């Protein structure tokens, strides 16, 4: 994407264009920390519509009172994203360095090794930007137009702050489509790894495919939930459905599970899970089955298989509100099919990464499914994404992950 004519490194703050809220819009939400302005809330005259995607602008309320600095994309339903609430900063090199240093300081307090989500979008003051770190490699998902425009200064600041030598751009995020952006991955610095990268987590070794895997290569968000589930897995047979690269299964085996069966529809993901089991020294206790998760759950039921711990961590069945009802039915079905596989007194872990399904709705669907399976449940744990995925309290969408652990 070409840089817009009013990008911040070519203009002073005074030269920034101005966008304005409509009279009926509520500036209080912006003042209280809400980071998004929708297209129907902004005056979209010819001048505003002509702004290049990624343009940095000054946001004013209907009375022309300054509110914030925003990144504008006339092609997106989220037409403006707040990048500086104080209304003074612009995203130049020093601005990126300051944001990244603040994000890094939190992760270095949380983790001993440099494997974590370094930037979690709005909550870290970089709206639409995800950065996952894998040692001396970082993967950036610029899911908003402004970050795509400014990817080079962002990468330069990232290298300076963290010392990473390889920076990859992952353009596979769903948000990029909504922003009208391309899907072209890119090596921004260094060279792409020739094979999977080893990641030590929860006592296990995972294999992350940073160039061809899902998302940025590994899901760090379940780390704490996997650690809790692993405590319940000691001495038990474990079933990990929708396992991806073995997230719950490998953590369980590393912490004393008797065996683990990983089920996923992706052969490449299961190959990475098997490689992780070998690297973790638990291959003799690990088994993989490729196939449709619902069909495999039904087949295991027909085999009268029972496990001390069953985990189901599916993809988002309800990524947006139009899919909510169908998504909740799918979560209910997962619970109904998986509950009979749990041995008496065992545990069932059910997860959702659907933005549209809040905790109450998801929990209700799970309990309906468990009840339809004829099981009774105690809820013993409620989890969310780990602390390297901080929440912006004003933005409910940032609290996407739910993990419920039931004792049946």
On the CB side of 386, how many CA atoms lie within 13 Å of its CA?
A: 22
**CB 55 within 8 Å of CB 69:** no
* Nearest-angstrom CA–CA distance, 368 and 335: 8
- Between 175-179, 201-205, 254-258, 305-309, the lowest mean confidence (pLDDT) is in 175-179
Asked if pLDDT for residue 394 goes beyond 80, the answer is yes
- Indicate the pTM of the whole model: 0.93
- In this model, does residue 175 exceed pLDDT 90? no
Pairing of strands 186-189, 166-169: antiparallel
Query: CA end-to-end span of the chain, whole Å?
Result: 53
- How sure is the predictor about 215, in pLDDT bands with cuts at 50, 70 and 90? confident
pLDDT tens per residue, range 72-103:
999 999 999 999 987 678 899 999 999 999 99
Alpha-carbon span 405 to 387, nearest angstrom? 19
Question: Is 353 a residue of the active site?
Answer: yes
Please name which of 224, 345, 240, 221 lies closest in space to residue 285, comparing C-alpha atoms. 240
pLDDT at residue 50, rounded to an integer = 96
CA-to-CA distance for 171 and 183, rounded, in angstroms?
A: 5
pLDDT at 361: 96
**312, 351, 353, 366: the active-site residue:** 353
At which residue do the structure tokens 């897995």 appear? 233
- Express each pLDDT in 6-15 by its tens digit: 344 444 566 8
135 exposure class (CB count in 10 Å sphere: 0-12, 13-18, 19+): middle
Query: Under a CB-based contact definition with an 8 Å cutoff, are residues 37 and 13 in contact?
Result: no
Confidence label for 319 from pLDDT (cuts 50, 70 and 90): confident
What are the tens digits of pLDDT across the range 256-302? 999 999 999 999 999 999 999 999 999 999 999 999 999 999 999 99
Residue-level pLDDT at 13: 62
Dist. CA 225–CA 405, nearest whole Å: 9
Set out the domains of the chain in order of their start, with CATH numbers: 8-84 (2.30.130.10), 93-189 (3.30.750.80), 198-407 (3.40.50.150)
Q: Mapping DSSP to helix (H, G, I), strand (E, B) and coil, where does residue 307 land? A: strand
């Amino acid at each position: 994407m070409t840089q817009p004519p009013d990008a911040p490194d070519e203009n002073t703050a005074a030269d920034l264009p101005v966008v304005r809220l409509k009279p009926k819009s509520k500036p209080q939400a912006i003042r209280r920390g809400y980071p998004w302005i929708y297209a129907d809330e902004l005056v979209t005259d010819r001048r505003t519509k002509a702004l290049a995607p990624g343009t940095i602008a000054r946001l004013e309320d209907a009375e022309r009172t300054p509110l914030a600095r925003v990144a504008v994309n006339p092609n997106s339903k989220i037409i403006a994203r707040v990048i500086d609430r104080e209304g003074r900063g612009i995203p130049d090199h020093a601005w990126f360095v300051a944001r990244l240093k603040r994000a890094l300081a939190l992760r270095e307090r949380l983790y001993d090794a440099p494997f974590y989500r370094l930037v979690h979008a709005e909550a870290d003051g970089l709206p639409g930007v995800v950065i996952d770190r894998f040692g001396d490699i970082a993967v950036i998902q610029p899911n908003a137009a402004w970050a795509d425009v400014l990817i080079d200064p962002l990468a330069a600041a990232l290298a300076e702050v963290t010392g990473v030598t390889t920076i990859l751009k992952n353009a596979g995020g769903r948000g990029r489509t909504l922003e009208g952006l391309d899907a072209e991955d890119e090596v921004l610095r260094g060279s792409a790894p020739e094979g999977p990268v080893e990641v030590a987590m929860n006592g296990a070794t995972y294999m992350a495919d940073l160039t061809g895997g899902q998302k940025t290569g590994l899901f760090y968000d379940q780390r704490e939930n996997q650690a809790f589930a692993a405590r319940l897995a000691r001495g038990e047979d474990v079933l990990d459905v929708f396992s991806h690269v073995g997230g719950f299964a490998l953590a369980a085996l590393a912490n004393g599970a008797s065996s683990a069966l990983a089920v996923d529809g992706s052969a490449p993901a299961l190959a990475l899970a098997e490689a992780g089991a070998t690297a973790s020294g638990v291959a003799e206790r690990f088994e993989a089955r490729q196939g449709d998760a619902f069909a495999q759950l039904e087949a295991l039921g027909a085999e009268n298989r029972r496990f001390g711990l069953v985990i189901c961590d599916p993809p988002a069945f309800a990524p947006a509100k139009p899919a909510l009802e169908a998504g909740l039915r799918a979560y209910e079905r997962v619970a109904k099919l998986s509950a009979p596989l749990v041995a008496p007194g065992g545990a069932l872990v059910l997860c959702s990464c659907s933005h549209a399904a809040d905790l109450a709705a998801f929990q209700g669907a799970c309990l309906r499914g468990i009840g339809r399976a004829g099981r009774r449940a105690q809820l013993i744990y409620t989890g969310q994404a780990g602390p390297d995925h901080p929440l912006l309290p004003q933005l409910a969408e940032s609290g996407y992950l739910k993990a419920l652990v039931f004792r049946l």
